[in-house]
A and B are shown apart, each in its own frame.
Chain A
Amino acid sequence: MSYLPSPRGGDRRRTAGSHRASPAIVEADVALEAPPDAATAVIGAGRRTLAPFGRRLARVTANDGYGAYRLITLRDAAGPPDPRPGQFYMLATASGWGAEGGGRPYLPRAFSFCRVRSGGEPGQVTGTKPGETALDFLLEAIGPGTGRLARVAPDEEMWLTGPLGLGFSPPREGTRPVLVGGGIGVAPIVCLHDELAPSARVLLGFRSSAHADAVGLFGAGSLEPPRVATDDGSVGRHALVTELLREELDADPAATVYACGPPAMLEGVRAICAEREVSAELALEAGMACGFGACYGCVVPTRGGYVRLCVDGPVLAAAALETAAGPGAGH
């Protein structure tokens, strides 16, 4: 099975997605944030919620199994209540970081937030007070960093920096949002869906039924439930999620597509949208050291040269990319 190019593996963790709408992208150029046209001018300013300076401690209030994944909830008492869907945070445990063998993990790990909630409101989060922000992060244990994070205990303290990067922008006028998530990449799609429902259509792809349990993260806000495809056919359609996207766009091409998932899936989404001239935003991932533009380590190639995903992404306009599956993509 193939999305289009040769797949580089299944689900990706560290779903730091980014988004950008400027046609000319030059590394470290602040002008990148300038919106390209009037349609996005109103939106552009709202893509980044500033982070408090420095890292801060946040307390774990829950760590629940979600099929193959863990859903970790943090009480972020000092953070902003309104991170933009697609923005991400750097996470590390306050203790035992570096104790997984081989002197790792050393660097914090980047995760798009999956959901944000406010304490003291309907559906409030256990362990939070009114006015406090609760953040949910979806992860899968695949290495020393995610392995340690998957074992955090309620009440444990974690280091948190964020929100970081640029989030998704609103759908183009006259289009319906089509949200495409693959594997762990469903994380930023969940909060985007929370914002855009009920008009959003949601298409999800997973490796197996254990991973497809993440469908449960999507609330009942949409007019239609998420459509699901699995690699093994155990849940939903035995297909790639890109096949569902083709059908969706065949039925009605007036769409703005948002996607996060493994590089091969994103490249499939990019190619399908490019072919049909459908506007799309892709939340990409790359290994990061800092998350705030310091190390220049997380670059991805765009039509305008390399951009740092952490400050000029992780959500990028699909039109800015020749491919979403370049070297360094994923992990």
Chain B
Amino acid sequence: MSAPAPSGAPLELCGVELAGPVLNGSGTFDAIAARRTFGDALLEDFPFHAFVSKTITLAPRQGNAPPRLWEAPAGLINSIGLPNKGLEAFLREDLPELAELPVPLVVSVMGFSREELELLVSAAGARAEIAMIELNVSCPNVETGLVMGADPSETASAVERVRPVTDKPLIVKLTPNATDPRAVALAAEGAGADAVSLVNTLKGMALDPRTGCSWLGGGTGGVSGPAIRAVALEQVQAVSAAVGVPVVGMGGIENGRDAADFMLAGAACVAVGTESFRDPGAGRRVAAEVAAITAGAPEAAASTRAG
């Protein structure tokens, strides 16, 4: 594809060349569904410099019972439950379509055991269409009952298990629902991760005003959007200061100013997530705005501190 990427200064992330620093958060943009909706105009104006897939699991998953969404103050609570067609169907049906995107492809995977994770990484690692693999560790390890990404030693064990089976860059997606995300990031780095990305959603819930019971079919969900940006920025800053590997920062980024803040806090790249729900082309807009700020355009860099 010779389509122009969104504006940005070329950079390398784990040895993969990107035309700029803006990715999508996993699970916040379905390029295949978007192409059905917008046609090939999507490819011509593709909003991201690299595309991150929705999380793939070994077996197909239907996802959680609806309702799955709740609008929160300046944000969203979702309880989607990782619906996906499973590794085999993903590789057979979706990967050829995703390979047509004009940017490098990152595939997100989640295993409910280290063995599952190894199978997923091994299979994804064997495919030339895939540039990088992101490990979604925000799930319980059924063997230990612990959320992998909430615990440094669980995270280290998971990364150690999959590190030998692929040469492709491994990004570990950190959860903010950990006592010490910095310690988890250091554990991931120590076990061989090439990068870390954060934050995933913050755990949250909402009550049905009519019944007083949980609104979401899944009981609890994850909060995203501007509501969590300050929390995300602090975690990105803390993790960036601790690790030597690149950091992909995200959490409520709406515009170039927000993205620039995450990069000033230490992120090498940023990801746009929930804002794409409001504006399908948000990634492209953020890329243009952050490029203007980086280039020193004075109006773009104007302080937003004043009240």
* A interface residues with partner B (beta carbon < 8 Å): 26-30, 33, 48, 50-55, 92, 98, 102-108, 159, 161, 164, 286-290, 292-301, 305-306, 308, 311, 326-328
Contacts and interface: CB of A to CB of B under 8 A. Distances in A.
Given A103-B75, A161-B280, A293-B37, 18 more contacts: A29-B93, A30-B32, A54-B280, A55-B281, A92-B278, A106-B76, A107-B71, A107-B76, A108-B278, A159-B278, A290-B276, A294-B28, A298-B66, A306-B62, A306-B66, A311-B33, A327-B65, A327-B66
Nearest to A28: B85
A239 B68 CA distance: 34
Contacts of A106: 71-76, 225, 278
B88 to A, nearest CB: 14
B244 interface: no
B33 A297 contact: no
A294 B29 contact: yes
Contacts of A300: 66
B101 to A, nearest CB: 14
Interface string B13-44: 00000000000000111101110111101101
Among B78, B276, B279, the one with the most A-chain Cβ atoms within 10 Å of its Cβ is B279
Given A106-B76, A292-B38, A299-B66, A53 B280 contact: yes
B73 A305 contact: no
A327 B67 contact: yes
A208 B30 CA distance: 42
Most chain A beta carbons < 10 A, residue from B33, B44, B274: B33
B69 interface: yes
Contacts of B67: 286-287, 327-328
A328 B68 contact: yes
A293 B28 CA distance: 9
Contacts of B72: 103, 106
**Interface residue range, chain B:** 35 or more
9 contacts: A29-B85, A50-B37, A52-B41, A54-B279, A106-B72, A107-B71, A108-B278, A289-B274, A296-B63
Interface of B: 27-30, 32-34, 36-39, 41-42, 44-45, 54, 62-63, 65-69, 71-76, 78, 80, 83-85, 93-94, 217, 225, 227, 274, 276-281, 284
Please name the 4 residue pairs, one residue from A and one from B, whose CB atoms are nearest each other, closest first.
A293-B33, A328-B66, A103-B73, A54-B281
A38 to B, nearest CB: 23
